[in-house]
Amino acid sequence: MVATLEIRNLHASVDAEDDLILNGVNLTIRQGEVHALMGPNGSGKSTLANVLMGNPAYVVREGQILLDGEDLLEMEADERSRAGLFLAFQYPVAIPGVTLGNFLRHAINARLKAEDPESKGIPIPQFARMMRQKMSALQIDQSFAGRYLNEGFSGGEKKRAEILQMAVLEPRIAVLDETDSGLDIDALRIVADGVNSLAGPDMGALVITHYQRILNHIKPDFVHVLYDGRIVESGGPALALELEEKGYEWVREKHSMLQAAEA
Amino acid sequence: MAVVRRRSTLPQAPVYAKADVEALSEKHDEPGWMRERRIRAWELYESTPMPYMEEEWRRTDYRHIRWDQASTMVVANGAGAEQVPAKHLEPLTGEEQGGLLVLVDGKVVRRELADELRDQGIVFADLRTALREHEELLRKHFMTTAVKASEGKFAALHAALWDHGAFIFVPRNRQATLPLHVVCYNSTSGSAMGHVLVVLEENAGATVQVEYASSPGDEHASYIGATELIVGDAGNLRFVSLQDWNRETFEFSHQRGLVGRDAQLDWVNGVMGSRLTKAFIEVDAVGTGANARVSGFFFADHGQFFDLDTQQNHNAPLTNTDLLFKGAARDNARTLWQGMIKSLPKMQKIDGYQVCRNLMLSDEARMDSIPGLEIEADDVACSHAATFGTLEEEPIYYLMSRGITRPQAQLMIIEGFFDELLQRIPFDPVRRRLMDEIEAKIIG
């Protein structure tokens, strides 16, 4: 069965009384599809990513998020992850004293335990083998697994660590929140190759980006433009190029004209 | 909890009399010098007021202790080693044990020492036996240089009424190649006056693990104890002590390591149990080139109060002390760490480091840390710090976003907090035990 993430009329804010950051987002992502979500700063891109994952810092005021018809809004972040959703963070947090390897083993074991409470977890040799394989595929040094999670990682290392986590957890739908930001061209290529090797029939992806640059490396099937908490444009790969050429000013003008016309 | 506490009543004193001191010495048929020391200590005790407003005591209110319960000397009632939970008997500092000494309610219930250690002249005995068989060693070392009766009210009381304990002696140029393990367990409430004395002569080495614990009880109990670690020149002592008293126990203890010329002391101190702990933990670097590392672990919950007073005394040049305490508090627990690095005048080229890191796990918990320096030399490297943190939502969310449940995520972050300390502990099983204690505190 092809997994489907459906976002319906999603409204969200930081506090229940605050102004809305998401203003009725509608989007459907199927396993196997790559969607790019572009938009100017402050349009709500990161909010959308975090609301999808269940960040408790946000309040959903209206709308639905369904994964294969299951209501994600009823689930905490850990349940959403185990249901097959993944978020590559824009700013992954450092966790001192917890190694990347140990963390991922716990993440796998949490999945196994959710399926079978009696599970003893993944055998360590099997886990080590899998890690070695995934790390070499992503050109990540093996010593990485022994380092404390994101602590003292360079920007590029953090992003690669996010992609490694995605590779290990094998989500059905992955959201990548500005994974290209702060990367030099080599790191960008490695990250993009990682996404490309994982995206495919088994994984759908929502690639959130401010710049068109990463889309030279990750070919989206669909491109959407988020503006003022709403998707205002959707199209094929050509839309990204058009945006690159015309800039977000074009969206801004067009959209405010539309708004004025509506009013 | 109120920040300023009014003290309208003075703390009560334990219920003892000089006759108790004389009777105790009589009962054990002690040599005259020990009896005299006890009497002198008693006189000192009597002339010293109960501490309460002195700088190192004013944040520690112990007036709720019921001395009518907690100053009845613990008496052995026939309980044996089978009373002791298995975890306290497990060797944590090596696969094989060189010696095991188990005291239950002050009485020796097990005493084993490997022949290969005994043959080297290594002494591993309870204090009573040691006082008979190694009188001169005790006369020389027992409360004469490390912990003295004059250190305070409770030190004097301990010197007057100490009841049981362990004596470990490693002669010159000998190595206790297998670890030695002491268990002090109380199966009844009352007052335990335990003492651990470790003496390493020149160029001697040992690894010692001491566990303190007691079975749950309803009545107040006290541990008025002392630990003396004397590391001779070029000696090397690795000492691990883990305290897990029941929740009605009040600990008042003095613990001091003396580190000789070019000697090493690696001291791990874990505080998990008790209702209230007031511990003075001190290292004196007394010989040039002495090196001491002190690693403290504490975790308080449900109304526990830990007050850990550490001092690093640089009494010789070119000495190095490195102290790291890491602790957590949850529920309405309170912890206090007061640290001090001191140097005698002109002790040049000393390096003193003291850090206490605190993790507050509830809004009701309170943790205080007060570092201090008193250095009377100019060519020194001394640093101190105290940090405070809480369990933040952002890292929890991050771990949860990978499928890890909230309780597991919290536990991982808390264990991660302690990792810096655990990494300093040279024994895997000690690390695992502390991880288990963290887990029990979080889940329990």
Mutate: best of A106, A108, A109, A162, partner B, most B CBs <10 A = A106
pLDDT tens string A44-93: 999 999 999 999 999 999 999 999 999 999 999 999 999 999 999 999 99
The CA-based angle B353-B358-B363, given to 5 degrees, is 160
What the block records as the tokens of A44 is 């709500």
Return the pLDDT at A243: 87
Q: Do B401 and A77 touch (CB under 8 A)?
A: yes
Task: Name the band, by pLDDT with cuts 50, 70 and 90, for residue A256.
Answer: confident
Q: How many CB atoms lie within 10 A of CB A137?
A: 14
Instruction: Tell me whether A55 touches chain B (CB under 8 Å).
Output: yes
pTM score: 0.91
* The residue type at B79: A
CA B371 to mean position of chain CA atoms = 19
Query: Nearest residue of A to residue B391 by CA position?
Result: A95
3-state secondary structure of A69: coil
CB–CB contact A78 B405 (8 Å) = yes
| CA–CA distance, A163 with A192 (Å, rounded to integer) | 9
The CATH fold of domain A4-92+170-262: Rossmann fold (3.40.50)
Q: Residue with structure tokens 């986590």?
A: A165
Is residue B220 within 8 Å of residue B69, measured between CB atoms?
yes
Q: Quick one: DSSP state of residue B49? A: P
Structural domain boundaries of chain B? 18-287
Q: Is the pLDDT of residue B263 over 80?
A: yes
Residue from B176, B119, B90 nearest B433 by CA: B90
Chain B contact present for A75, CB below 8 A:
no
Q: Show which residues on chain B lie within 8 Å of chain A, measured between beta carbons.
A: 393-395, 397-406, 408-409, 412-413, 415-420
Closest to B416 (Cβ–Cβ): which among A53, A80, A96?
A96
Which residues in chain A are contacts of B393 at CB distance < 8 A?
56-57
Confidence of residue A253 (pLDDT cuts 50, 70, 90): confident
Q: Which residue of A has its CA nearest to B421?
A: A97
pLDDT at A263 (0 to 100): 64
**DSSP character string of B387-426:** EEEE--HHHHHHHHTTT--HHHHHHHHHHHHHHHHHTT-S
Pairwise CA distance, residues B282 & B155, whole Å: 14
Question: B-chain residues within 8 Å CB-CB of A122?
Answer: none
Q: Contact at 8 Å (CB) between B380 and B351?
A: yes
A19: helix, coil or strand? coil
Q: Which of A97, A98, A110 sits opposite B405 (nearest CB)?
A: A110
Q: Does B416 sit within 8 Å of A110, measured CB to CB?
A: no
Nearest CA in chain B to A170: B402
Q: Read off φ and ψ for residue A125, nearest 5 degrees.
A: -60, -40
pLDDT in tens, A191-250: 888 889 888 889 999 999 988 888 889 999 999 999 999 999 999 999 998 888 888 888
Q: Break chain A into its structural domains and give their ranges.
A: 4-92+170-262, 93-152
Q: Which residues of B touch A114 (CB under 8 A)?
A: 403
